Structure 1
Amino acid sequence: MSEDATWAIELTPEHPPDRIADLAARAEAVGFDAAFASSHYFNRDPFVVLSRMADATDDLRLGPGVVNPYETHPVKLAAQTATIDEVSDGRAVFGVGAGDRSSLSNLGVERDRPLRRVLETFDLARDLWNGETVTHEGTFTARDASLNLDPAGEIPVYVGAQGPHMLRMSAKHADGVLINAAHPRDLEWAAGELEEGLRERPDDAGDFESLAFASVSVAGDEEAAREAARPPVAFIVGGAADPVLERHDIDREAANEVSEALERGDLNEAFGRVTPEMIDAFCIAGTTETVAERFEAALEHVDGIVVGSPLGPDLEDAIERASEALAAATDGEND
């Protein structure tokens, strides 16, 4: 376990920006270090929400968690993240990944060459943040691009990752990784992949931080917490690779039924097809005590935890309970 585990939280802009800003302030007050605003085309814009979160907080690190370089051009993502860094006085982080395949398919977007595109995106962003004028021909094109603003400081890059190649690439090139997993079995496997990437990491690349971007649902009532976990678990299952499903003995046909319902846009059917086994594999769900035990098990393999969607059936209560669970799992080291 890390001696100083990072406490982070994902806030999903399915609610008005002012409410998300209030939740960010609450999270900061109970000890969280960072907050990510998730990015899905059907929710509010994460960068607008992050701006409100910056106004409502003083020290919380803030960033998208995660944006993808398919819906938005990488140069634009770099500018948006630099803007958050400016309005937050240097607290921005850049959470970037390949995006959710089923959501992108709804927009007619093909997720081609994801590893290369993500790497090229944050390489280019770093050059732009350093004040360079960039021309790039690769998985996307940029010609004589530059930014008319300077970030307040170094903006760390966190790559959203689940598969082996993205995990290794993040360890080799990024500042951190957001591992799309909640179960110790997956996190232990991911740690092994990260070790391979770290062996190839340049000596001057600086520190690297691994965070479990874990779906969490915590409440006073176990069944209420598990029921609230259905929507995020559906999206996780919908994008899960065969080896991940096999690791948890999840039936491929059952997972396909969830995925196909998501791609049709039939969310209620997708959520209804989530099984108890899927919740156990892909979410940390239950009472404060149950969640604390799962956090402690996860922290054997990572440097910190992002308490991810859905948080719980009552968001304000869930933030308090998640903080209590993290304190119990880390012996109160962030108190």
Structure 2
Amino acid sequence: MARDFRFSVNVFGIPSREAVRERCRRAESAGFHTVFAPDHLGGPAPFTVLQAAADATEHLRVGTLVLNAPFWNPALLAREAASLDILSDGRFELGLGSGHMKWEFDAAGIPWEGFTARAQRLEETITELRRFFTTDMAALPGGRAPLPVQRTGFDGAGPPLIVGGTGDRVLTIAGRYADIIGVAGVYQVKGEPPGTLRIGTAAEADERVRFAREAAGERAAQVEWHLLVQAVVPTDDRRATAAELVSQFTAPMSVDEALETPFALIGTPAQMAEQLRASRERYGFSYVTVHEPYYEAFEPVVELLRS
């Protein structure tokens, strides 16, 4: 039986306190389930944004999509995550990734390591968080270190864990630990500088979901599968709009591929809703996130799928 849809939006900017609060209240009212904050050096601090979102709403969940694990000391991250989980009344979801933007590491003065080393850091962070979310954190001197409210992730030690990516190593880690697995919709363009990305195809999504399911093994049926939509493009002419869209891409993609990929929604709200139903049937994607610039275009789709 297919999972019910959950809908979410990434917050990119914080023009003002009230603007953030109003956006989050509107999302809650429109039927969105979660507001996410990414972890990029050129954007706002994720935990601060999420606390503001939690304070402005009653039921909206908040989460990171995703933290760059190499940026974080696990003990300090455990403190941040547990504190937010308490102050949001158990509405926090912790998303972790290995990091893929080399310029961010360079600008922050953090050594840029190869993919294998970054993936290893991700796995180590997950296992360390699980340790700190148990008695180790509470046993620190002072005895006032916070512990998470939720006990659904990290093998019953903390908030739900999201892990997303495209590579074998990260998806293997996701299959081993994550409650929510995201098959990322962007890929590094071969031969280009790190951070030069392209949208993935439906065939690539098929193969990556299949790999992640095999990595999850018996856990696959319990995992929630997450889709990060890279573009939402309203139109009455899907093919013409897709042709215009692919002309702007950094790597070749056919019009048919653009229309088939789960990582771009093109069409009327009804057509986009049908795309998402088809993606849930084909891949299992039921947790759908759109980037903030596409929020208003996506609202009617949420309304259709809620009803």
Q: Confirm or deny a common fold (TM above 0.5).
A: yes
Q: Does the CA contact (< 8 Å) of 1:7 and 1:305 recur in 2?
A: yes
Question: How many percent identity over aligned positions?
Answer: 24
Distance change in 2, residues 1:290/1:100 (3 Å): farther
Q: 1:212 & 1:193 partners in 2: Cα distance?
A: 16
Q: Normalization by structure 2: what TM-score?
A: 0.75
SS in 2 for 1:304: strand
What is the total number of aligned residue pairs between the two structures? 275
Deviation at 1:311, TM superposition (A): 4.2
Q: Report the counterpart of residue 80 of structure 1 in structure 2.
A: 80
Deviation at 1:170, TM superposition (A): 0.7
Q: Report the counterpart of residue 299 of structure 1 in structure 2.
A: 280
SS in 1 for 2:297: helix
Q: Does the CA contact (< 8 Å) of 1:37 and 1:50 recur in 2?
A: yes
Q: Normalization by structure 1: what TM-score?
A: 0.69
Q: Report the counterpart of residue 150 of structure 1 in structure 2.
A: 147
Deviation at 1:114, TM superposition (A): 2.1
SS in 2 for 1:213: strand
Deviation at 1:132, TM superposition (A): 1.3
Residue 309 in structure 1 maps to residue 306 in structure 2: no
Q: Report the counterpart of residue 288 of structure 1 in structure 2.
A: 269
Distance change in 2, residues 1:11/1:131 (3 Å): same
Q: 1:111 & 1:18 partners in 2: Cα distance?
A: 39
SS in 2 for 1:148: coil
Give unpaired runs (5+ residues) of structure 1.
135-142, 238-244, 251-274, 328-333
Letter in 2 for 1:19: A
CA offsets per residue over residues 24-71 of structure 1, 9 Å max, x none? 222221222222111211111111110110011112221111111222
SS in 2 for 1:130: helix
Q: Does the CA contact (< 8 Å) of 1:96 and 1:159 recur in 2?
A: yes
Pick aligned residue for 2:207 from 170, 178, 189: 189
Distance change in 2, residues 1:222/1:47 (3 Å): farther
Pick aligned residue for 2:227 from 188, 204, 212: 212
Q: Report the counterpart of residue 162 of structure 1 in structure 2.
A: 166
RMSD across aligned positions (CA):
3.6
Deviation at 1:147, TM superposition (A): 7.5
SS in 2 for 1:93: strand
Distance change in 2, residues 1:17/1:194 (3 Å): farther
Q: 1:323 & 1:24 partners in 2: Cα distance?
A: 15
Q: 1:15 & 1:276 partners in 2: Cα distance?
A: 36
SS in 2 for 1:199: helix
Q: 2:202 & 2:278 partners in 1: Cα distance?
A: 6
Q: Report the counterpart of residue 6 of structure 2 in structure 1.
A: 6
Deviation at 1:308, TM superposition (A): 2.2
SS in 2 for 1:48: helix
SS in 2 for 1:132: helix
Q: Does the CA contact (< 8 Å) of 1:70 and 1:111 recur in 2?
A: no
SS in 2 for 1:32: coil
Q: How does 1:55-70 map to 2 (within 5 A)?
A: 55-70=55-70
Deviation at 1:6, TM superposition (A): 2.5
